[in-house]
Chains A and B, each alone.
Chain A
């Protein structure tokens, strides 16, 4: 059974940092691109960024709203993807979903972790 489990969410003050983790099981993690998608309360889905598999260079892409502040990385030996979030803003408040995709879609999703940025 495929599982993606996010952790690391919580309440953080504006300007501070937070690191989310996504632990995967049930599929060949190293073969998949790993993405982060967020959803602000009562709003739609917003792509945050992704990291390609090593076979495709392991490179990253980010949404303009987070570029320069967020960093996605992966540890294929542990089947974990990370989202390092720096200089957090109130508008970053959202449920953050980890997703895995082999092709051009988000095939698998975690249950999400809530990040609240507030003073």
Chain B
């Protein structure tokens, strides 16, 4: 199975900050990497698919990059509605595996 790790596990940031979350796969997954946002008590929401493609309706302050084993989710200017937990997920092979999540909260 492909293992996914994320760093940091949590971070505190202010509105307007640039935030970067890293995801690493235990083996190469090409660009088969997706990012999701989850707010408390809500279902996850797809933000980025295929490592760098922005899902329709998602604000352009979100961006993704990377390929192979190392990936990054960047929020260029953090907004109040962005405080949430972010998960990466590989779709290169089954079982589809998620990272443990990165919680972004208010400093």
Contacts and interface: CB of A to CB of B under 8 A. Distances in A.
Interface in B38-57: 38, 42-46, 49-50, 55
Interface of B: 32, 34, 36, 38, 42-46, 49-50, 55, 87, 89, 91, 94-101
Nearest to B94: A61
Binding site secondary structure of chain B: loop
B98 A105 contact: no
B43 A112 contact: yes
A47 B44 CA distance: 13
Interface SS majority for chain A: loop
8 contacts: A35-B96, A37-B44, A44-B98, A45-B98, A47-B95, A105-B55, A106-B89, A110-B43
Interface of A: 35, 37, 44-47, 50, 61, 63-64, 97, 103-107, 109-112
